[in-house]
Amino acid sequence: MLTTSALTARYGDAQALFRIDFELAEGELVAIIGANGAGKSTFLKSLTGLVKVAREQVMFRGETIGGLPPGEIVRRGIALVPEGRRLFPSLSVEENLQMGAFAGRGGPWSLQRLYALFPILHEKRRLPATSLSGGQQQMVAIGRALMSNPSVLLCDELSLGLAPVVIKEIYDAMPAITAEGMTVVIVEQDVATAQRVSRRLYCFQEGRVSLQGASGMLTREQISQAYFGIEAAA
């Protein structure tokens, strides 16, 4: 449903992505792994319009959407949970979630449904979003993206700065999110987590796809070589 062909993007003055071919089928959970600076975040940003790319390089449900304004892309059904959460500090938890619904897409996700998924957010709905713990803030960020009722959910480094037990708690919510056919892409630095939760996996290295395949079939050696490159393998 979402494909990129020879996607090329610049980030500032440097070229960050080199001819990325990527494919996503309806209902899949795909992981993208790779070291810092491999271009994972830039890739998600170019899918959501935050990094400008050529129109024909991103194809979503038969239409070219590369380089469209971010608001236009979210209205078509692609939502991003940004790296570092980026919650609105002067908005309460509930207001942050409501911002997600601004695009006005209908669908199963509502405040009620989110509070059922993350009950702690209901309890803290009146508090400033940034006063919550890191894990709870990540729940708000995921919830905010879900409130736009996307058909594709892109998650950038959900586990950044969180304790392992909290990371597990966040990922435990994934089955409930994908249950109704939501397509999900996660960017993850932790290879073990990425392999465990995803069906397919892409590895990025210095702006190129260095490896892809079914998550369960890839060996440790293959991944570490694709992850770290030639130097580490030598």
Partner 1 sequence: MTTMAFDILLQGLLLGGLYALFALGQSLMFGVMRLTNTAQGDFIILGAFAAIAGLMVLPVWAVALGLLPLAFGFGYLLQRHVLNGTLGRDPLPSLVVTFGLAIVIQNGLLELFSADPRSIETGGLNTRSIALGGDSAVGLLPLLILGCAVAATAALQWLFGHTRLGRAFRAVSDDREIAELMGLDARKLYALATGIAFVLIALAGVLQAMRTTVSPADGPLLLLFAFEAVIIGGMGSFWGTLCGALLLGLTQQIGFRLDPGWGIWAGHLVFLAVLVLRPQGLFPKTKG
Interacting residue ranges for partner 1, rule: CB under 8 A: 48-50, 69-71, 74-75, 80, 82, 86, 88-91, 95, 98-100, 102-104, 144, 148
Cβ closest to partner 1, residue 104 vs residue 181: 104
* 192, 193, 198, 203: CA torsion to nearest 10: -60
- Shortest distance, position 191 Cβ to partner 1, whole Å: 28
Q: What is the 3-state secondary structure (H, E, C) of 10-53?
A: EECCEEEEEEEEEEECCCCEEEEEECCCCCHHHHHHHHHCCCCC
How many whole angstroms separate alpha carbon 197 and alpha carbon 177? 13
- Shortest distance, position 40 Cβ to partner 1, whole Å: 17
- Shortest distance, position 20 Cβ to partner 1, whole Å: 21
Contact of 27 with 183, CB cutoff 8 Å: yes
Q: How many CA atoms lie within 13 A of 128 on its CB side?
A: 5
- Shortest distance, position 146 Cβ to partner 1, whole Å: 12
**Token pair 């400033």: residue:** 128
Cβ closest to partner 1, residue 72 vs residue 123: 72
Contact of 156 with 41, CB cutoff 8 Å: yes
Cβ closest to partner 1, residue 79 vs residue 194: 79
- Shortest distance, position 44 Cβ to partner 1, whole Å: 11
Q: What are phi and psi of 120, to 5 degrees?
A: -60, -30
Q: What are phi and psi of 102, to 5 degrees?
A: -60, -35
Cβ closest to partner 1, residue 76 vs residue 122: 76
Cβ closest to partner 1, residue 95 vs residue 206: 95
How many whole angstroms separate alpha carbon 98 and alpha carbon 181? 23
